[in-house]
Amino acid sequence: MSTQPNIVLILADNLGWGELGCYGGGILRGAPTPRIDALAAEGLRCLNFNVESDCVPTRSALMTGRHPIRTGAMQSIPAGLPQGLIPWEKTLAELLRGAGYATACFGKWHLGDTPGRLPHDRGFDEWYGIPRTTNESMFTTTPGYDPKVVPLPYVMEGQAGGAARELHVYDLEARRRIDGELTGRTIDFMRRHAGRKPFFAYVPLTQLHFPTLPHRDFDGLTKAGDFADSLAEMDHRVGQMIDAVAELGLADDTLFVFGSDNGPEFRRPWRGTAGPWTGTYHTAMEGSLRVPFIFRWPGRVPAGGVSNEILHIVDLFTTLAGLGGAAVPTDRPIDGIDQLDFLLGKSAKSNREGFVFFIKSELRAAKWRNWKMHLVWEVEPNDGPIHLESPLVFNLLQDPKEETAIGTEADINWVRSPLRRLILSFQNSLKANPPIPPGAPDDFLPKAAS
């Protein structure tokens, strides 16, 4: 068994907590998910894995181990403008490549679309996918779209040390094909490096992001519509990658990580579900924060594990870097916590008790143990956020849908104290290490690093 395991990190897009069979969905959503369900049964299935409010901030948190309020990568902005991660940030791919890994990104990047900020410039040996997001595939069929004003979206590829190439327009037909292409490229990458050096395959799939359209091979498969067909396709793609690792004889030496970047879609006709939780992405509700997360490593992670311990997406940066033998940067605040002992079953408890939650630059909520405090209340995206004079606090075990705040009951009100201390500690950290402003230029250096 290798001391540096291969790592396959699959990140679904806008996959809600309630879509997969192993999280209460599957056939209830019109599409069984047997391959992902089996992956969960062979490893650890987490019930309290938390992410950011939408695509960009979660991907930033994953790649840097830092909350997006620190990195300035808090939202998507139009093509060609400064966005995503400035070169000063250190990515997980850079750390793992420095530790001897072959690294590749196959899928949606969304952390910068200009030279110097694309995946092959940020630690990945190779990249194939889209620089921004899937809904751009709708541009060419949208009435009034003018490519002279807004550039055509392209599927691209790049190799470290070279310039990225635009391969073909990312239109609706390309949208249907792309996850199959990402899977094929991932399998080819694994085959090329099997037995030669450890590999890190980061596979940010495009399903189930709108427009949620399946590959033609899956169109009509479930008889339950495009969304269910796309869910069935995603399950199949994950299964293809699992099978490839087994065929290469690498199952025991390969860590599979499967998760989602945020809660479900809220747009019709592609409305997703967060299962027992309220809300969708772009909010601070549990339906936005909690997403599926599966961690499988045969012989190392006990099979059949289920946990409600709190984890956060930033923890993957620190945990996977350490697992791969890479040193985490010490010249900047790192919010990620090493969770390897917990994930391997050596500890029943997570090393994390809570976290703060921002949407863009606004502090919206904080979680601590089984409690949640909302400072801003918004159940549905664009529903008109209410800035609360008295924050609402919920016991998530007793009230998972966040319907009845605890008020000021004397026997419960003590919980405001640890929540407030958690918030204050993070705010003091931001004062000591001022955040990178959104849209910062390539040569920007944070105050602490200048």
Once rounded to an integer, what is the mean pLDDT over residues 386-390?
A: 93
Q: For residue 159, give both structure tokens.
A: 């190799």
- Per cent of the chain over pLDDT 70 is 98
Once rounded to an integer, what is the mean pLDDT over residues 403-427?
A: 87
**Given a cut of 70, is residue 411 above it in pLDDT?**
no
**Confidence at residue 146, expressed as pLDDT on a 0 to 100 scale:** 94
**DSSP notation for 84-137:** S--TTSPPHHHHHHHTT-EEEEEEE--S--STTSSGGGTT-SEEEEESS-GGGG
Once rounded to an integer, what is the mean pLDDT over residues 35-58?
A: 97
**Given a cut of 50, is residue 308 above it in pLDDT?**
yes
281 touches 381 (CB < 8 A): yes
Active-site residue among 110, 193, 282, 312?
110
Task: List the helix and strand counts (H, then E) for the chain.
Answer: 10, 15
Name the pLDDT band for 406 (thresholds 50, 70, 90): confident
Alpha-carbon dihedral sign for residues 271, 272, 277, 279: negative
Burial 320-335 (b: 16+ CB within 10 A, else e): bbbbbebebbeebbbb
Once rounded to an integer, what is the mean pLDDT over residues 5-31?
A: 98
Is 55 one of the annotated active-site residues of the chain? Answer: yes
Once rounded to an integer, what is the mean pLDDT over residues 150-154?
A: 94
**Given a cut of 50, is residue 1 above it in pLDDT?**
no
Mean per-residue pLDDT of the chain: 95
**Confidence at residue 226, expressed as pLDDT on a 0 to 100 scale:** 97
**Confidence at residue 408, expressed as pLDDT on a 0 to 100 scale:** 60
Q: Which tens digits make up the pLDDT trace of 313-324?
A: 999 999 999 999
**Confidence at residue 444, expressed as pLDDT on a 0 to 100 scale:** 95
Active-site residue among 22, 46, 55, 105?
55
C-alpha 338 chain-centroid distance? 17
**The residue to which tokens 């392209």 are assigned:** 154
Task: Indicate the domain borders of the chain.
Answer: 6-343, 354-449
Name the pLDDT band for 2 (thresholds 50, 70, 90): low
Q: Which candidate, 124, 290, 59, 103, places its Cα nearest to that of 197?
A: 103
**Confidence at residue 450, expressed as pLDDT on a 0 to 100 scale:** 45
Q: Tell which CATH classification among 3.40.190.290, 3.40.50.970, 3.40.720.10, 3.40.50.300 matches the domain 6-343.
A: 3.40.720.10
The neighbour count for residue 266, using CB atoms within 10 Å, is 21
Name the range with the highest mean pLDDT among 238-247, 266-275, 381-390: 238-247
- Pure H helices in 220-373: 226-247, 286-289, 314-323, 340-343
**Given a cut of 60, is residue 170 above it in pLDDT?**
yes
Q: For residue 282, give both structure tokens.
A: 């772009």
**Given a cut of 60, is residue 449 above it in pLDDT?**
no
Once rounded to an integer, what is the mean pLDDT over residues 303-311?
A: 98
Q: Which tens digits make up the pLDDT trace of 180-215?
A: 999 999 999 999 999 999 999 999 999 999 999 999
**Confidence at residue 340, expressed as pLDDT on a 0 to 100 scale:** 97
Terminal-to-terminal C-alpha distance of the chain: 43
Q: Which tens digits make up the pLDDT trace of 330-377?
A: 999 999 999 999 999 999 999 999 999 999 999 999 999 999 999 999
CA atoms of 240 and 133, how far apart (whole Å): 24
206 touches 178 (CB < 8 A): yes
From residue 189, alpha-carbon distances to 131, 244, 324, 374 in Å are 20, 11, 18, 44
Is 110 one of the annotated active-site residues of the chain? Answer: yes
**Given a cut of 90, is residue 59 above it in pLDDT?**
yes
Domain 354-449 is of which CATH architecture?
Answer: 2-Layer Sandwich (3.30)
Once rounded to an integer, what is the mean pLDDT over residues 241-266?
A: 97
CA atoms of 152 and 170, how far apart (whole Å): 8
Residues with Cβ within 8 Å of 169's Cβ and at least 6 positions away in sequence, in order, are 140, 152, 153, 154, 155
- Pure H helices in 169-313: 172-193, 226-247, 286-289
